[in-house]
């Protein structure tokens, strides 16, 4: 059996973990939004609950973008799909982080949202760095 290089194994684990976490969080925000926001440490979840579910659909969609690529082994042939997944999800995460930081800074959102902004910012930075450094460049 031909074992993929360590870099590919780590990137694959990251892809599954990021996608799984986002997909699970998004699904929980749709099904049990109040409980999920409390679990996230937020005292004031968005109201009405349908709006919280709307947020969940976007988080779920981000997770599914990771998982769609993760189901393909990272090879020279699938690398463009993985790169698109990273560009898309890093862009969404960066926009979310910037928006949340601005809302927290102006007092419109409680400081508990900072964990979401930081998580999204770190994931976005990791992916943009990986794209610049060619981590997803695979030769045949």
Domain boundaries, the chain: 7-133
In the numeric block, the tokens 């902004």 are attached to 117
Answer for the pair 139, 95: CB distance below 8 angstroms, yes or no. no
Per-residue pLDDT of the chain (140 residues; tens, 9 = 90+): 666 789 999 999 999 999 999 999 999 999 999 899 999 888 887 788 788 889 999 999 999 999 999 999 999 999 999 999 999 999 999 999 999 999 999 999 999 999 999 999 999 999 999 999 999 998 76
Task: Give the contacts of 50 (CB within 8 A, at least 6 positions apart).
Answer: none
> In the prediction, which pLDDT does 44 show?
81
pTM: 0.90
């Amino acid at each position: 059996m031909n074992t993929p290089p360590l870099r590919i194994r780590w990137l694959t684990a990251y892809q599954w973990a990021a996608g799984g976490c986002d997909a699970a969080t998004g699904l929980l925000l749709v099904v049990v939004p109040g409980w999920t926001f409390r679990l996230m440490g937020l005292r004031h979840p968005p109201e009405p609950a349908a709006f919280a579910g709307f947020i969940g659909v976007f988080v779920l969609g981000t997770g599914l973008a990771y998982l769609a690529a993760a189901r393909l082994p990272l090879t020279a042939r699938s690398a463009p799909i993985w790169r698109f997944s990273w560009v898309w999800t890093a862009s969404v995460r960066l926009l979310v982080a910037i928006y949340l930081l601005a809302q927290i800074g102006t007092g419109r959102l409680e400081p508990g949202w900072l964990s979401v902004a930081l998580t999204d910012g770190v994931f976005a930075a990791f992916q943009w760095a990986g794209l610049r450094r060619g981590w997803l460049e695979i030769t045949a």
